[in-house]
Amino acid sequence: MKIFIAFAAFISLSLAISSTPGDNSHYVEGVSRYIWMPDGDGVPHLVDLHAPIDRQVSRNGADNQYWLYTRRNPTNHQVLRHNDVNSVRNSNFNPSRPIKVLVHGWNSKGSSRMNPQIRDALLHVGDFNVIVVDWRRAAMGTYTTSVWSVPGIGQHLGWFLQFLFNNFGGNWNNLHLIGFSLGAHVIGNAGRTIGGRAGRLTGLDPAGPQWGRNSNAINRNDGVYVENIHTDGGLLGIFDPVGDVDFYPNGGRNRQPGCMLSTCSHSRGYELFAASVRYNHFNGRQCANLNDARNSRCTGASHRMGNAVIGKRGTGLFGVTTGSNWPF
């Protein structure tokens, strides 16, 4: 009886909600019903992980928008339309340039903070076709609905990429898919749809809640080289390795240096990546195991975290030490 009472008290405590926006100190993975999540501009929102799915929301990705940025139009996007050859032909898209695809997460849109930050960094270092995927209709619903929508969003992205390559040529090895939070799982599904041919996938703190044992989560088979940067493992992000290479900055968990709110550590995933693109200054050291990664005890071979290198390759777990302010 005492054991039952103690267990019931533990469950009640774990279901308590912090009244401070962005404070997830109450959260117990796999047990808690509520968690604070940041929107695309870093503002925390309280999310009910038991909320029902809104089946009226489009989940098949037909509403995806594809915004093209190049060095000829670095801040004003051109809209590319699936199966509309003229929309591509009349744009600045050049199939001889590498393609960088950016996919946002929950409660976000194409103009949300992560996209211009990474876009500007990419165009600063290379002459790329940067395509921002705006899937706001499904992303703006309840978190549960957005999770349910991810496979269809990713599948349509994959079909759009097939349309581009089938009609305009190019090299699949020059395709780099970059996704933050739920967007990391979107690019995983897109990579599967195109048969794992993308040269590189980068998951930025892949979303954790509702993704345990989820077959639609990003994995190492979704591209030629799949890497993930874990910054809020066990809370808003997953902690387990799911790529060819998994990076664990500062232990890969909450709180990251310089973060006051819990939710800041999740957003740090795309901030660190943007900094790595501009400066390529994060030197990862290989870890013997996941526990060493958790405790920042990694002293093995070196491997750069992030950056814009298309032909990047490697395997293993890597710890990284960063600063607390840009460029970290």
Catalytic (active-site) positions: 181, 205, 266
190: its two tokens? 């897109």
DSSP H/E element including 46 = strand 44-48
φ, ψ for residue 298 (rounded to 5)? Answer: -115, 125
Interatomic CA distance for residues 305 and 316, integer angstroms: 12
DSSP H/E element including 35 = strand 34-38
CB atoms within 10 A of CB 63: 16
DSSP state of 277: H
Nearest to 24 by CA among 208, 197, 162, 155: 208
157: its two tokens? 């992205």
Nearest to 81 by CA among 156, 185, 175, 182: 156
φ, ψ for residue 113 (rounded to 5)? Answer: -50, -40
Integer CA distances (angstroms), 84 to 72, 117, 191, 246, 259, in order: 21, 28, 22, 37, 44
Interatomic CA distance for residues 230 and 121, integer angstroms: 20
